[in-house]
Copies of this chain bind each other. A is one copy, B any other.
Amino acid sequence: MKWFTEYWTDNVKFSIRIKKLVYTKETKFQKLEIYDSYEFGRFLTLDGYMMVNEKDEFIYHEMIVHVPMNVKPNVKNVLVIGGGDGGTVRELLRYNDLESIDMVEIDEEVVRACQEFLPLIAHKLNDSKVNLIFADGIEYVATTEKSYDLIIVDSTDPIGPGASLYKNQFYKDCYRILTEDGILVNQHESPYFDDTRSEMKKINKKLRAIFPLATVYQAFIPTYPSGHWLFGFASKKFTPDYRGNTDLLAKLKLRYYNQEVHKGSFALPNYVKEELR
């Protein structure tokens, strides 16, 4: 096999020249593959869709973590739903004041494969602040008695095992287990092509029905369909303004996120604002 191809719509495809298939496994939940490629280094696919690659994963992971971490000061405990590749945990652990991360991933095989084949992304999953829980995120949020300052839903698209992470009941349970000024951030599809735009609208509508404030922010992620990718920001109290510690931020030496990017990521084009109205 010379090229890995992903259909962004029935009529648009994106292809990457690959060196080789590194690992493949039919897990209990999905088909997992790890390839090595010329342009993007190694990358993980689930059921044929690229989830993460070594070249641009920093954009996704910095933006799903540092935006909420710089909106709400003093986040102590975080719940990550999904996030099996470990990139979200790696970024969270840059904040020394953070006390604990519960990561609830349904598919242990994703974690194990990433630890073995994508260590640049997964190498912090063994950190002592991280509790790995291999369970269904829906059930976890429905039954846990813990509460969290921040919930990050780092999931696949609304198909396959990730579909339930876009349901009303899931968001209601997240709301319940968030502290009184808690924030939820999630993977929120793209505004550009019809299918992802339709998902974007549905997700935002559900979040707005439950949270006092629910909007989206954007990042340039070249390997996701259209390259214009969104994250959901749902909050009980905080507006999405930057309230970070700028000295600390400079020390983190991030490659994408900064204070101006924070603000710019919420500056949505008119056509996106209109779709969300």
Contacts and interface: CB of A to CB of B under 8 A. Distances in A.
Interface of A: 3, 9-17, 37-39, 56, 59, 192-193, 218, 220, 222, 226-228, 254-258, 260-261, 263-271, 273
Given A192-B220, A258-B269, A264-B264, 19 more contacts: A9-B39, A11-B16, A11-B37, A14-B14, A39-B193, A218-B220, A220-B220, A220-B269, A222-B226, A222-B228, A227-B227, A255-B270, A256-B270, A258-B267, A260-B266, A260-B268, A261-B270, A265-B267, A267-B267
A171 B37 CA distance: 39
6 contacts: A13-B14, A220-B220, A258-B273, A261-B268, A264-B265, A264-B266
Contact of A220 (B13, B37, B228, B273): B228
A263 B262 CA distance: 12
Contacts of A269: 59, 220, 255-258, 261
Contacts of A15: 12-15
A265 to B, nearest CB: 7
Copies of this chain, tallied across the complex? 2
Contacts of A265: 264, 267
Contacts of A257: 269-270
Contacts of A9: 39
B218 A227 contact: no
A12 B37 CA distance: 10
A194 to B, nearest CB: 9
Contacts of A218: 220
A67 to B, nearest CB: 13
A273 B259 CA distance: 13
Nearest to A222: B226
A266 B16 CA distance: 30
A16 B65 CA distance: 34
Given A11-B38, A17-B10, A261 B267 contact: yes
A37 B13 CA distance: 13
Nearest to A14: B14
A37 to B, nearest CB: 7
Nearest to A17: B11
A128 B263 CA distance: 41
A171 to B, nearest CB: 27
